[in-house]
């Protein structure tokens, strides 16, 4: 039976069904914020490879949503056994997965066999909508988009995000949207449909262009992040080694031309960036492995398009060494790795 459709400009009395695939460090708080902002009559179905995580989400977030009024409709949170089952029942499907193999596997299961339509009348405003927030290579994403569209399974957009776990928890993420803006099939309205959905989980949406361009923007941004994270760690390590108080040094940097996200929001020194991973011994943030993966994707895309990245190889070496010694930690743990390699005796313990 087709899901009940509703226009996002309509009243919230008509329920819609939302699907969310991937409840990792980023996906869990994003799905939590989504459920908190959805109308009480809407249903949220979640799936994660780790069923215990999905069940935990249902128990924690579903109870809260039910307490806010969704209980009467039984719509708070449901757990699906497979991505295919979730997609069959959902109007909008949001995915947040670790990398290209995971995204390809999930959509392989979703699209084969062909998904049944959710409505007899299909348009950009009513068709099943897939929003992939994973960071993968633009080519793979475009291939998946083509597979979704050619099989008439729905509409697909790439919408990777920036802001880290802190932004996911605070709902302040910036989304980079890749989808057609104008063509003969009505997709000029697709970006207008997707934007308010992403705003339920973030604070800014930038339409970067057609399919794959959201990811192109994300790879350029995360290449810069990979470099600036190392530079921030080196600058803090240098200043402290020269005898500067780390708080005074951070105040100087963040009020001067050297300031960046890594120095302001994710500083690797305790007591500077409230809520930063260093306050939790570098646990629970954007892992070194994910940063290394994004850097490798940027390097691959650069090579395919003949773009030179002078600092990429050395940065890759750094993250490989850090992962080998401190795998599983937030990528700002580069500071601790640098500190351990320094020979000066006047060292701060704030990063410990």
User: What is the full DSSP assignment across 147-202?
Assistant: HHHHTTS-EEEE--EESHHHHHHHT-EEEEEE--SS-TTSGGGHHHHHHHHHTTTE
**Model confidence over 37-82: pLDDT tens digits?**
999 899 999 999 999 999 999 999 876 655 555 444 445 899 999 9
Percent of the chain with pLDDT over 90: 78
Distance CA 99, CA 261 (A): 23
Q: Is the pLDDT of residue 261 over 50?
A: yes
| pLDDT score recorded for residue 9 | 38
Contacts of 172 (CB under 8 A, 6+ apart): 163, 166, 202, 203
Average model confidence (pLDDT) across the chain: 88
Q: Stretch 318-338: mean pLDDT, rounded?
A: 96
Residue 207, helix vs strand vs coil: strand
Distance CA 335, CA 329 (A): 12
Among 58, 78, 89, 218, the active-site one is 218
Return the DSSP state at 339: H
**Model confidence over 86-117: pLDDT tens digits?**
999 999 999 999 999 999 999 999 999 999 88
Kind plus residue range of the DSSP H or E element containing 46: strand 43-47
State the angle between helix axes of 213-241 and 138-150 in degrees (0 to 180), rounded to the nearest 10.
Answer: 150
**Model confidence over 187-224: pLDDT tens digits?**
468 999 999 999 999 999 999 999 999 999 999 999 99
pTM of the predicted protein model: 0.85
Establish whether 218 is a catalytic residue: yes
CB distance 202 to 172 below 8 Å:
yes
CB distance 129 to 153 below 8 Å:
no
| pLDDT score recorded for residue 13 | 37
Residue 313, helix vs strand vs coil: helix
Distance CA 193, CA 133 (A): 16
- In this structure, the strands spanning 173-178 and 161-162 are antiparallel
């Amino acid at each position: 039976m087709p899901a009940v459709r509703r226009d996002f400009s309509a009243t919230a009395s008509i329920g819609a069904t939302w699907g969310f695939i991937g409840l990792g460090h980023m996906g869990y708080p994003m799905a939590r914020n989504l459920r908190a902002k959805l109308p009480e009559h809407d249903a949220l179905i979640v799936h994660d490879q780790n069923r215990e995580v999905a069940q935990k989400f249902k128990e924690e977030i579903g109870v809260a949503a039910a307490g806010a009024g969704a209980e009467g409709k039984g719509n708070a949170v449901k757990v699906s056994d497979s991505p295919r089952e979730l997609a069959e029942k959902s109007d909008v499907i949001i995915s947040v997965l670790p990398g290209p193999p995971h995204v390809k596997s999930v959509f392989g299961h979703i699209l084969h066999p062909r998904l049944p339509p959710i409505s007899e009348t299909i348009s950009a405003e009513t068709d099943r909508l897939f929003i992939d927030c994973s960071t993968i290579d633009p080519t793979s994403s475009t291939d998946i988009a083509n597979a979704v569209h050619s099989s008439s399974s729905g509409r697909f957009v790439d919408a990777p995000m920036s802001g880290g776990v802190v932004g996911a928890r605070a709902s302040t993420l910036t989304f980079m949207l890749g989808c057609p803006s104008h063509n003969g099939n009505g997709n000029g309205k697709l970006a207008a449909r997707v934007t308010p959905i992403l705003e339920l989980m973030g604070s800014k949406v930038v339409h970067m262009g057609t399919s794959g361009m959201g990811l192109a923007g994300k790879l350029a941004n995360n290449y810069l992040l990979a470099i600036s994270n190392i530079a921030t760690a080196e600058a803090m390590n240098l200043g402290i080694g020269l005898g500067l108080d780390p708080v005074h040094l951070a105040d100087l940097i963040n009020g001067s031309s050297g300031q960046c996200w890594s120095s302001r929001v994710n500083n690797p020194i305790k007591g500077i960036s409230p809520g930063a991973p260093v306050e939790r011994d570098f646990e629970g943030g954007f892992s070194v492995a994910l940063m290394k993966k994004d850097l490798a994707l940027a390097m691959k895309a650069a090579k395919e398009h003949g773009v030179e990245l002078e600092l990429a190889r050395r940065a890759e070496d750094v993250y490989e060494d850090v992962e080998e010694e401190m795998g599983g930690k937030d990528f700002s743990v580069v500071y601790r790795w640098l500190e351990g390699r320094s020979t000066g005796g006047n060292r701060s313990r704030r990063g410990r």
